[in-house]
Every structure is written in structure tokens, then in C-alpha cells.
Structure 1
């Protein structure tokens, strides 16, 4: 029992710290947001499903997380920002007084990350539903909705 409690507490702490870092990243241009939110949702799913559901339903953080979980997609604006920041990081690294071999290795790694980000699909638009008796009626639904 102690191990389970300690494990859940560790996951909950990781979720809270990741969420806090993600919120900070929403306001600071050089700090990522979505990756911290992904870690927060993953850790919260293991320790507090209610907190994980709250993050997924958050109006600001929820849609990118849903797109990633649903189809492993990254929105176009996020791709552009990520590639821009990676490019700036590569430029600053190239000007730094580090060993040329280390610089080259890190720049190649960052280029690989940028290529991976660019090759991810963009999220498709999914219809939103309001559940009323009229919209749940098969006659009121179009063929796409009936298949869901």
C-alpha cells in the first residue's frame, strides 16, 4: 500500500509541476507549453483521472492535447513556432564558444527534431455535437454522424 501511495503521489506531483510549467510556457515565448501539458495529462491519468479530464477539457490547453491524442497531429501555428525557435537555437549554438563537434552534433539533433515536427499531420476539423433529443434522433443526423 505504501508503494502505491508513494507512486500515485509522485505521479500527481509530476502532473502538477508539468502543468505549472506549461502554464508558464503559455506566457513566455521561449518555454514550450504543449509538451509539458502532454506530460501533465499522462501523469495525471495515472494519479488523478479527474485532473487529467480537467486538463483535456480546458479551453486553452485541451484542443492541442486532443489533436495529439486523437491523431498525433500538431497545428500549423505550433509547427511554425517550434521550427522558428529551433532555428534560433541553432543560430545561437553556432555562435557559441563550444567544441565544433558538440555544436555539429546538437545542430544535427535539432534539425532532426524540426524535420519530425514538420512531418506530423495537421489536425483535421472534427464536428462538434450538442446532445439534445433532436440531435440524437437518427433522422436529424447526417450520414457521417450516424456512423459515429
Structure 2
């Protein structure tokens, strides 16, 4: 199973790196997925992502606190709105728009309700 997890981790890193320059391709979720895959297959690759100056903070926030930074939340909602706007512009069928809109609304609500940082200790 380790080679399968490693391959999935590499694919996730590849997609995540593409997302750095391509709009609407998710970077952070792919790097979080890659870290999870590498945790099961390659401690060296996991540690590289965990300590990475660009990707590491988001991975650590998610793993330790289930948190999504406010900028990432805003970027996600904006990307979802852009995708739906493109679907409207392309004139997709109403049932497709309804299904897409429902999924995006549910996911948008889930993203917005995640913590933005570490929880305060009482």
C-alpha cells in the first residue's frame, strides 16, 4: 500500500503546484491531501511538506486546529463564485446549475464555518 499512498501524494503535490499558477485549481487542499498520503508512505516527504515555508503553515493549521486561514476562505469562495459564474455564462442546463449551485453552497457554508486559526483556550 505504501507505493499507492506515495503515488497519490506525488499526484496531489503536482496538482497543488499547478494550482499555484492556474486559477480554480485548489492548491491548499491538494497539499493537505499530499501530506496525509506521505504520512502513510514517506516520512521524508511528509516532513518536507510540513516544514515547507509556503505550504507548511496551512497544513499545520488544518491538522492541528481544523482551521482555514481567512485569505484561503476568501479565495475558495471567490473561486466557487467564478466557477458558477462561468457555468451561467456558458448557459448550462438548469438542472446542472441547480446541482452545481447546491454543492457549491453547501461547501461554501462548510468552509466559512471552519475556524480561522487556533482555538482559544478557556
CA RMSD for the aligned pairs? 1.5
How many Å apart are 1:53 and its aligned residue?
1.2
In structure 1, the partner of 2:96 is: 102
TM-score of the two chains, using structure 1 as the length reference:
0.75
- Unmatched tracts of structure 1, length 5 or more: 1-6, 126-148
Aligned partners of 1:52, 1:17: CA distance in 2, in Å? Answer: 14
In structure 1, the partner of 2:57 is: 63
The size of the alignment, in residue pairs, is: 119
Q: Spell out the pairing of 1:1-148 with structure 2 (5 A cutoff).
A: 7-124=1-118
How many Å apart are 1:47 and its aligned residue?
0.8
How many Å apart are 1:80 and its aligned residue?
0.6
Aligned partners of 1:41, 1:85: CA distance in 2, in Å? Answer: 23
- Unmatched tracts of structure 2, length 5 or more: none
3-state SS of paired residue (1:40): helix
